[in-house]
A and B are shown apart, each in its own frame.
Chain A
């Protein structure tokens, strides 16, 4: 049985009190990754963050449980699934649980990155401990009332029971007494087999608000006296503002201010999440969004070039050149050079993908109200703590006087890790001395992004005269980062293995994009393995399983960042569920498997040809993400990953001409639409008791490979360069 100690060095992870209005309140840390009691002993120090109480559960005297979650929703359903974990250990009926957003005035966020798919993993232990502790305290209150040993009591759906005496009492009736009990030193957790809420389908707690259009998002912020601010940024990377003429704009209706400002003053210390394109911008302020949008066009700005204007063609040429040269060796096993020179057959293929925008449907925005001695910031951000630090520096205020509040986010996909728009809002508010809501137009959002970098990778495989795979060589490059993970599969499964990597410098700002690097490399790797399997005359799944078998029984090298048996597990599951061995006339299938963000996913894409065009009919997915918290929500996220991966691989690209992004809105930046999405997506889960891991990212990467492999089956044409639907090689 797993138990948790609720204190460490006599400091408590939890706080208990009476709730205002009656009942019991337990405070806890939302994302604390506490460790089980036996592991704690071995630890010398505990991170401070584990003691930060930023979430609460309240049991009202009417038995209603309210869970105050500091985690805003970004679209991965954490606002529902994380409270489910608390409710499970508390042993209440989900019908009596209300989830509310907490932390409106939270000064510190214990975890830098809030809301992403790693949240479940980070919160699993602390959420269980909170629920289990409250349950135990309720039981102790009942034990006292009934004068029985607590060991004789059980709980069931919000009631404490004594079987022998046939007594039962609701949590609501015990709540006031529980508030007076001391926090138990150690609590026991449920066994996974006893779960009643975890693993079921629970509906999104914000669903009713969403379908009725209630204000939830940053862009919906309204405040008395607030002005709308928009920015004008250089039209191309490598440019900056030289001078502005705002005469015409200032005379337009509703316009209150126009000025140039610096969001990141020289010399201030930035964090990684302050990555941005242009530190100097023009701000236009006014009463309403439309007035400001019109006035933006009336500001005449002169630009000057400060660094090279880059072109997509140059990036491609740069990639090709570096791929033909020696690079830094990231990993070498065996003697790959020898294996290649002795090979009977060498397969060599190059794959590429363009820059992408995150394209959250809610464009970047932030509210800021900066006063002489304090600042209130609010909006869609995943890195509130970094934003608070940087805003304090940029504004010249003490950190404690800057508050950052998180709103629901209209999508993230990596974009809202980079909080420059919050700093910009703060600087505008300070300079204009009014509360402002900074709003990016779609064009602003798309043309000054933190783009998914463009990448190119070459895979080589050596086969001997018996068509055995003897070596693999991977060479990867990209804009400001290489896409290659040298210690992931197929590392460990091939005797002779060489990975080289490098990157190209650029003045184009890049950043995380749903499943960073994996979003490209998985498709390349899985397409390549398909081609190798074909050359070897092997079934694509059997071939992969042989490689995993090797990695399980006799792994090559020391450091292999994956569990080969779980990898093989998802492949076996999908093989069975999708009846891979059975051919259906007219249906062309491709398979792929990939591991990232601690979860394993295998997917099969079923393509049919309609009017000479490949059409995705169905995506089959098998996932090993440990314990599944909310089954239907997990399926929803997996479906989104598949649609997203297919859509971007087929259609999307940001390209550059003279430093200028050639796409600026959804008329020329293609996103997948209704009729292009698979008609059906079915998801299966590996049932195990491994601690839960994320789903936001892992469902995307492999589908690109499965799509390319199915495409080949359908058309005989291999797809190497994204987007697949572009006529010629398009690269960012």
Chain B
């Protein structure tokens, strides 16, 4: 066990955990931020996507010891009032079915738009490839990303 100082959603936290503990479980079990989801644990499904310094990362495969001073953003911290353009677009297109994958989808999409404000269909397919939606909401996700891109 060791102490780690983390910056999560603009707030400082200190956690005492094993250095190999993935950020996912630090968020869920230690900080009670359960919006970030567990789906596979091996960086294959994207349910656990967060931002590290604004870049999408699979938190299930990022050990806490590797984060250093990077700013962690989770779905809870994406916007103060659910008014991030991606969140708004998700509501407008009524994207979720079961909803379980959507936090990860939204985090991947918002990181994409930050890096590439006007993504093509191919850009979207590439950036979102790591996010599985078992309910099959892919068509709506793509439409919502385009709406969010236009609203920026």
Binding site for B on A (CB under 8 A): 73-77, 201, 203-204, 206-208, 210-217, 219-220, 222, 228, 253, 288-291, 293-294, 359-363, 408-413, 441-442, 632-633, 636-637, 639-644, 647, 665-667, 671-675, 677-681
B114 contacts A by Cβ under 8 Å: no
> Which of B20, B25, B47, B137 contacts A288, CB < 8 Å?
B25
The closest CB in chain A to the CB of B36 belongs to: A213
Known A-B contacts A210-B102, A288-B29; the reply to A681 vs B74 at CB < 8 A is no
A84 CB to closest chain B CB (Å) equals 14
Q: Which residues of B contact A290 (CB under 8 A)?
A: 17-18, 20-22, 25, 29
B152 CB to closest chain A CB (Å) equals 17
Q: Which residues of A contact B98 (CB under 8 A)?
A: 73-75, 360-362, 408-412
Q: Which residues of A contact B38 (CB under 8 A)?
A: 219, 289, 363
CA distance A294 to B17 in the complex (A): 13
By the criterion CB–CB under 8 Å, are B94 and A633 in contact? yes
Q: Which residues of B contact A673 (CB under 8 A)?
A: 128-129, 131-132, 138
The closest CB in chain A to the CB of B45 belongs to: A666
CA distance A412 to B135 in the complex (A): 9
By the criterion CB–CB under 8 Å, are A413 and B76 in contact? no
Q: Which residues of A contact B101 (CB under 8 A)?
A: 361, 410
B34 contacts A by Cβ under 8 Å: yes
Q: Which residues of A contact B149 (CB under 8 A)?
A: none
CA distance A213 to B1 in the complex (A): 29
Known A-B contacts A211-B106, A253-B18, A675-B125; the reply to A411 vs B100 at CB < 8 A is yes
By the criterion CB–CB under 8 Å, are B126 and A210 in contact? no
CA distance A413 to B136 in the complex (A): 12
Q: Which residues of B contact A201 (CB under 8 A)?
A: 94
A516 CB to closest chain B CB (Å) equals 17
Q: Which residues of B contact A647 (CB under 8 A)?
A: 136
By the criterion CB–CB under 8 Å, are A639 and B96 in contact? no
Known A-B contacts A289-B29, A639-B139; the reply to A671 vs B126 at CB < 8 A is no
A-B contact pairs, 26 of them (CB 8 A): A203-B94, A210-B90, A210-B102, A211-B87, A213-B34, A213-B76, A215-B35, A360-B134, A361-B132, A362-B100, A410-B37, A411-B98, A413-B134, A442-B40, A442-B41, A636-B95, A637-B97, A643-B136, A665-B42, A673-B128, A673-B131, A674-B124, A674-B142, A675-B122, A675-B126, A675-B128
B99 contacts A by Cβ under 8 Å: yes
Known A-B contacts A211-B106, A213-B75; the reply to A220 vs B34 at CB < 8 A is yes
The closest CB in chain A to the CB of B124 belongs to: A674
Known A-B contacts A76-B97, A290-B18, A409-B98; the reply to A211 vs B136 at CB < 8 A is no
Q: Which residues of B contact A359 (CB under 8 A)?
A: 134
CA distance A409 to B141 in the complex (A): 20
B:84-115 near A, CB below 8 Å: 87, 90-91, 94-103, 106
CA distance A212 to B38 in the complex (A): 16
The closest CB in chain A to the CB of B108 belongs to: A674
By the criterion CB–CB under 8 Å, are B140 and A639 in contact? yes
B28 contacts A by Cβ under 8 Å: yes
B151 contacts A by Cβ under 8 Å: no
CA distance A228 to B8 in the complex (A): 24
CA distance A647 to B138 in the complex (A): 12
B133 contacts A by Cβ under 8 Å: yes
B:1-52 near A, CB below 8 Å: 1, 17-18, 20-22, 25, 28-30, 32-42, 44-45, 47
By the criterion CB–CB under 8 Å, are A442 and B39 in contact? yes
B73 CB to closest chain A CB (Å) equals 11
For the residues of A in contact with B, the DSSP-based class is loop
By the criterion CB–CB under 8 Å, are A411 and B136 in contact? no
CA distance A290 to B106 in the complex (A): 25
B57 CB to closest chain A CB (Å) equals 16
Q: Which residues of B contact A211 (CB under 8 A)?
A: 75, 82, 87, 90-91, 96, 102-103, 106
Give 9 closest A-B pairs by Cβ, nearest first. A213-B35, A643-B136, A410-B100, A75-B98, A213-B75, A675-B125, A640-B136, A677-B138, A666-B44
Q: Which residues of A contact B90 (CB under 8 A)?
A: 207, 210-211
> Which of A75, A362, A677, A679 contacts B37, CB < 8 Å?
A362
B121 contacts A by Cβ under 8 Å: yes
By the criterion CB–CB under 8 Å, are A206 and B134 in contact? no
By the criterion CB–CB under 8 Å, are A674 and B125 in contact? yes
Q: Which residues of A contact B36 (CB under 8 A)?
A: 213
By the criterion CB–CB under 8 Å, are A228 and B29 in contact? yes
Q: Which residues of B contact A632 (CB under 8 A)?
A: 94
> Which of B25, B37, B87, B103 contacts A289, CB < 8 Å?
B25
Q: Which residues of A contact B45 (CB under 8 A)?
A: 361, 442, 666
The closest CB in chain A to the CB of B87 belongs to: A211
CA distance A409 to B28 in the complex (A): 18
CA distance A169 to B43 in the complex (A): 58
By the criterion CB–CB under 8 Å, are A642 and B136 in contact? yes
Known A-B contacts A639-B137, A677-B136; the reply to A204 vs B34 at CB < 8 A is no
By the criterion CB–CB under 8 Å, are B134 and A204 in contact? no
By the criterion CB–CB under 8 Å, are B99 and A216 in contact? yes
By the criterion CB–CB under 8 Å, are A665 and B40 in contact? yes
By the criterion CB–CB under 8 Å, are B41 and A639 in contact? no
> Which of B42, B95, B103 contacts A213, CB < 8 Å?
B103
Q: Which residues of B contact A228 (CB under 8 A)?
A: 29
B9 CB to closest chain A CB (Å) equals 11
Which of A359, A442, A665 has the most chain B CB atoms inside 10 A of its CB? A442
> Which of B29, B34, B97, B103 contacts A636, CB < 8 Å?
B97
Q: Which residues of B contact A408 (CB under 8 A)?
A: 98-99
Q: Which residues of B contact A633 (CB under 8 A)?
A: 94
Q: Which residues of B contact A77 (CB under 8 A)?
A: 97
Q: Which residues of B contact A212 (CB under 8 A)?
A: 35, 75-76, 78-79, 82, 87
B132 CB to closest chain A CB (Å) equals 5
Which of B22, B96, B102, B137 has the most chain A CB atoms inside 10 A of its CB? B96
Known A-B contacts A208-B91, A639-B137, A674-B124; the reply to A441 vs B41 at CB < 8 A is yes
Known A-B contacts A204-B96, A411-B98; the reply to A75 vs B125 at CB < 8 A is no
